[in-house]
Structure 1
Amino acid sequence: MKFLCLPGAYGSAKNFRIQLGPLADELERRGLATFTYTQGAHEVEPPAGWEDYFGTRPLYRFIDTRHGDNFEQLRRLRHMPYSINAEDAIRMCEERSQGEDWHQQVWRQAMNDVLRILDEHPDVDAVIGYSEGAMVGASLVVEEAEQAQRTGRQRRIKFAVFISGSPPLKFEGDNRVVAQLADRAGIVIDIPTFHIFGCNDAFKGGAVALYNVCEPSKSAMFDHGLGHIVPRDAENVQMLADILEQIIPEVEGRSQQRETGSDTNERMAIVRTPEASR
């Protein structure tokens, strides 16, 4: 399986290769996957006070933020009380961005950029994204499904790994971009997915909302017990690799069944771990 790797905001292909390195190296060692790294098209400066946090410059985003941050509301999730469910928290954030008429142009450009990258790598059949990259990857899966219906474009992504993600976005009306939430859109991601997040992540609500719009019979989740990070410690890497060693062959087997017309639609084995007590 060949993964397209999408870094988080203020990331880069170089830095994400380092972040994901322990897990990617282990999966390659086991012969399960290979990886190609990309980055957003827009070079950015890190926020004030965070100049040394995101790693070696240059840094990038998938979203053009020259006229403001199109998805500032996602970062407001960290201030939401845990008593509010994930969908309501995201809706409250969205209300603050109404009236901004440049959303669709910015998001269409981001989607076109990622589709172009996908076309440049014809061997890619899976995606792994972290934070903003997970949101972009989730939206890519939805965009592929919509384009397949509208134009007949063949879908490429058959498996997605989302690390500390947030739900995919869609166009609404003349100028809005909104998150696709389970209680208003239902299931919008129908391919197998694996969700990695931490119980101490300030943005956990986004990851939960993303999980909730994925087909439950094809989804698995893993709580690494930490914060908004790509887990790199030996214990978590070993457990993640063991789980993916179960899932990846199953996904590839399902894909072959669909190609031969013998897909049985059996439920994917869902692997969950208890919250780590660290």
Structure 2
Amino acid sequence: MKFLCLPGAYGSAKNFRVQLGPLADELERRGLATFAYSQGAHEVEPPAGWEDYFGARPLYRFLDTRHGDNFENLRRLRHMPYSINAEDAIRMFQDTGKGDDWHQPVWREAMDDVIKKVDEHPDVDAVIGYSEGAMVGASLIVEEGEQERRTGRKRRIKFAVFISGSPPLKFEGEDRVVALLADQSGVVIDIPTFHIFGCNDAFMGGAVALYNVCDPSKSAMFDHGLGHIVPRDAENVRMLADILEKLIPEVEGRSSRQGETESETDKSTAGSETSESSA
């Protein structure tokens, strides 16, 4: 299985390779996965006071935030009360930021860019995303499903690992982009998913809201007990690799069986069309 790796906001492919390194190295050592690293298209400066937090520059985002959606929005989310459910927390976050709405073309550009990245790697069949990268990865899965229904383009992503993520986005009205939430949209991600988060994450509500829009029969979760990070310590890496050593072969086996079924269906359809033509 080959993962397209999508870093968080104010990240980069280079920095994410370091963040994910211990887990990626262990999965490669076990022969379970390989990795292609990507990043957003928009170079950004870290927020004031966070100059040394995000690692070596240059830093990037998937979203062009010159039209709004600045770091202040994240500060709002950090102060959401824990007593409300994840969906209400996300709605409150969106409502407090209405004056900072960023335009739909910004989101369309981000989606087109990540789909281009998938097309550049024909062997990619999975995605692993952290924070903003997890939101983009989740949205990619939804977008692939819509494109398959609309144009017949085959879906590529068969498995997703989300680290401290947030729910996928959708267009609303003339200009807004808002989250897909379980109490409004139900399950929108039907492929197998693995959700990694920490109980001390200030943005825990986003990770829960993302889990809630995934098919629960195909989803697993792991709490590493820390904050909004990619876990790198030896114990967590070993436990995560053990779980993925079970999940990845299951996904690959399911995908193989599905491919065989589709192949048989195509052959049957082709045979019927030949018979009708001969008649």
The CA deviation at 1:68 is: 2.0
Contact 2:6 2:130 survives alignment (8 Å):
yes
Matched residue, 2:157: 157
The alignment partner of 1:18 has SS state of helix
Matched residue, 1:266: none
Matched residue, 1:52: 52
Deviations 1:124-161 (A, max 9, x none): 00000000000000000000000100111110000000
The CA deviation at 1:249 is: 0.0
The CA deviation at 1:76 is: 2.1
The CA deviation at 1:75 is: 4.5
Matched residue, 1:240: 240
Aligned residue pairs: how many? Answer: 262
User: Given residue 259 of structure 1, which amino acid in structure 2 is its aligned partner?
Assistant: G
User: Given residue 216 of structure 2, which amino acid in structure 1 is its aligned partner?
Assistant: P
Contact 1:75 1:203 survives alignment (8 Å):
no
The alignment partner of 2:98 has SS state of coil
Gaps of 5+ in 1: 263-278
Contact 2:47 2:71 survives alignment (8 Å):
no
Matched residue, 1:42: 42
User: Given residue 152 of structure 2, which amino acid in structure 1 is its aligned partner?
Assistant: G
In the superposition, the TM-score normalised over structure 2's length comes to 0.91
Contact 1:28 1:34 survives alignment (8 Å):
yes
The CA deviation at 1:234 is: 0.1
Contact 1:100 1:175 survives alignment (8 Å):
no
Distance 1:167 1:5 in 2: 17
The CA deviation at 1:67 is: 2.2
In the superposition, the TM-score normalised over structure 1's length comes to 0.92
In our comparison, the structure showing a higher alpha carbon Rg is 2
**How is 1:1-278 mapped onto 2 (pairs within 5 angstroms)?**
1-69=1-69, 73-98=73-98, 102-261=102-261
Deviations 1:24-55 (A, max 9, x none): 00000000000000100000000000001100
Gaps of 5+ in 2: 263-279
Q: Are residues 100 and 9 of structure 1, via their aligned partners in 2, closer, same or farther at CA, if it must alter by over 3 Å?
A: closer
Distance 2:104 2:155 in 1: 23
User: Given residue 162 of structure 2, which amino acid in structure 1 is its aligned partner?
Assistant: F
Contact 2:69 2:102 survives alignment (8 Å):
no
Q: Are residues 72 and 183 of structure 1, via their aligned partners in 2, closer, same or farther at CA, if it must alter by over 3 Å?
A: farther
- RMSD of aligned residue pairs (Cα, Å): 1.4
User: Given residue 61 of structure 1, which amino acid in structure 2 is its aligned partner?
Assistant: R
Identity in percent: 84
